[in-house]
A and B are shown apart, each in its own frame.
Chain A
C-alpha cells in the first residue's frame, strides 16, 4: 500500500480496446475486456469528481492512522470511483478537486470551502 510521494496528477489508464478508463494506472489488464500491456494507454485524470458519500472515521486499529478523519467515496468525471480523504465538504453531491498534503491525496470542494 505504498502511497506515491506525488499523488498528482491522478494517473489512470484508458483501454484501447473497450474504451474503459480505470484508476489507478496499471498494466496488468483491463477489468472490462482483458486487454493488457500496451493495450492500456496511460492517461492523466482531471482530478475533478463528485462526492457519493462521506463520513468521519472515529476509530482505526492502526495507531499510525490518525483519527478522527473524513473520508469520501468520489466518482471522478472520467468514471472511476475511489475512496480518499476530503476537506471542507459537508454533504454528498458536492463537486471536488484532487489535491495533495503531507498524507497524500485529499479532495477539496471545487467551489471553495463549504460549497454545496
Chain B
C-alpha cells in the first residue's frame, strides 16, 4: 500500500498568521506572548476564537501542559489541545498536525501556535547513559563549526563565503519588525565579531530568546462557511517529516534535508527550481550553504558563488530566509517553524512589504530538530 500524501486528501489553506516579536528574554509571561500571536492570527484570518476546533502548541522549555493556561483566556471552548515537541522543528510539527487534521476532515479550522521563553532544556540524548567522549565540548556551534571547516576545505571556499550568509540574513531582518536582530551588518563586522567556534563568529550563530507565532489552517468548506477571503488563502501542497538515517561520515543534517526536501517537492508536484521563497534552518551560517545545495536550489559546491551573485537575496532567483531566518529573525525554538509559515504566507500573498520577493508564487519551509528530525512544507500562492 502506498502511503497517503497530503494532496490525496482535501485541500488545506493557511488563512491567518500572527507573531509576537522574537526578542531577548524579558519578564513577559509566555501567556502574553502566545495570546498576542493567536489574536493577530485570528484578526488576520477574520475568524473568531469559537470557530477554532483543535489546537497544537509547540514549546520546548516551558514544561508540561502549556496549551490551556494560555488558550483559556480566549474562551474555554473545550477543544482538543496537544503540546508538540520536536526540538527546533517543534513548530513545524505542530503545523503539520494541524494540516493533517484539516486535510483528513477531523476539523475545518485548526490552530498551530508556538511559544517559548529562554531557559535550559533537558535533552534526552544526554540521559541515555551512553558515554560521550567529547569532554562536554560539542554544543551546537561546535557541531556546525566542524561542518563549516569540512565544507570550506572540500569546496575550496573561505570564511567570507560563510559570512555572506549572515550579511544577507541580517539585512533581511533589518526590514522585519518581528525580528530579534534588526540591524544590517557588513561583511567586515561579521568577520571581525567575537569568535565562538572555529570560523563561526557570534553574528553567524542564531540568537535564542523568546517569542510566539501562530497559524490558522482551514478547509475550503471553512472558507465558504465563515465567509473568509479565498484570495488570501495560501494552499499547503505537501507536508513531509523524516528522521535521521545512517550516512557514514557525511553531514547528517544535509543528507536528511536532501531526502526530506526531495519527497516534499515531489509530493507537491513541483521542482526545487520552481521555488520563489525558502525559509530554512540557518541557525548557523554554514547550514544555509549546505542546505541550498542539498535542496537542489543550486548544484553541489555552487552555494558560495550563487550567494555572492545575489541569487538568494530578496529580488534574486529564489529568496532564502527573507524573514532574516533563524540567524537574525531569531530562534525562540517553539515558535520558529510557525514563524517560517507566517513569512511564507505573507510572501505568497504579496503582503511582505519591504521584504517582498517580487512575483512569489511557491514557497518552502524547512527545519531540522537536533539533526534527528526534519520537516518540510511546500506552500502555494492563492492564485497559483
C-alpha gap A65/B194 in the complex (Å): 19
**Contact flag A84-B146 (CB < 8 Å), given A58-B197, A59-B196:** no
- Kindly specify which of B14-22, B134-142, B345-353 makes contact with the partner chain: B134-142
- Chain B residues 111 to 165 lying within 8 A of chain A, measured CB to CB, are 126, 128-139, 142-143, 145-147, 149-150, 153
A-B contacts, CB under 8 A, total: 100
Q: Closest B-chain residue to A70, C-beta based?
A: B137
Quick one: given A26-B130, A56-B197, A57-B197, are A85 and B135 in contact (CB under 8 Å)?
yes
Report if A83-B150 is in contact (Cβ < 8 Å); known contacts: A56-B198, A75-B249: no
Given contacts A71-B138, A83-B138, contact A1 B126 (CB under 8 A): yes
Cα-based distance from A55 to B196 in the complex (angstroms): 10
A:46-104 near B, CB below 8 Å: 52-62, 64-65, 69, 71-73, 75, 79, 81-85, 92, 103-104
Q: Provide the bound-state CA to CA distance between A65 and B249, in Å.
A: 27
Say whether B246 faces chain A, with CB atoms less than 8 Å apart.
yes
Chain B residue with the shortest CB-CB distance to A32: B246
For the residues of B in contact with A, the DSSP-based class is loop
Q: Which residues of chain A come closer than 8 Å to B142, judged between CB atoms?
A: 55, 57, 71, 83
Chain A interface residue bracket vs B: 35 or more
Is A31 part of the contact surface with B, judged by Cβ < 8 Å? yes
- The CA-CA distance from A55 to B131 in the complex, in Å, is 22
Q: C-beta contact mask, B255-295 vs A, less than 8 Å → 1, else 0?
A: 00000000000000000000000000000000000000000
- Is A39 an interface position by the 8 A CB rule? no
Q: Which residues of B contact A64 (CB under 8 A)?
A: 136
Contacting residues, chain A, for B137 (C-beta < 8 A)? 57, 60, 65, 69, 71, 83, 85
Nearest-CB residue, chain A, relative to B132? A1
Output the least CB separation between B236 and chain A (Å): 33
Partner of B194, one of A26, A31, A59: A59
Taking a contact as CB atoms under 8 Å apart, the answer to whether A4 and B246 are in contact is: no
Contact: A52 with B197, CB < 8 Å?
no
- B194 x A83 contact (CB < 8 A): no
Interface contact A7-B138, CB-CB below 8 Å: no
User: Does A24 sit within 8 A of B, measured CB to CB?
Assistant: yes
Contact B130 A55 (CB under 8 A): no
A3 touches B131 (CB 8 A): yes
Asked if A92 and B153 make an inter-chain contact with CB atoms under 8 angstroms apart, the answer reads yes
Q: In the complex, how many angstroms separate the beta carbon of B344 from the nearest chain A beta carbon?
A: 32
A61 to B136, CA, bound (A): 10
Q: Does B310 sit within 8 A of A, measured CB to CB? A: no
Rounded to whole Å, the gap between the CB of A38 and the closest CB of chain B is 19
Say yes or no for B25: interface residue by CB 8 A criterion: no
Inside 8 A of A62's CB, which chain B residues have their CB?
136
Give every chain A residue within 8 A of B299 (Cβ-Cβ): none
Can you name 27 A-B pairs with beta carbons within 8 Å? A1-B136, A3-B132, A24-B133, A52-B150, A54-B149, A55-B146, A55-B198, A56-B197, A58-B194, A58-B197, A59-B194, A64-B136, A65-B135, A69-B135, A71-B134, A72-B146, A73-B249, A75-B249, A82-B133, A83-B134, A83-B143, A84-B134, A85-B134, A85-B137, A92-B149, A92-B150, A105-B133
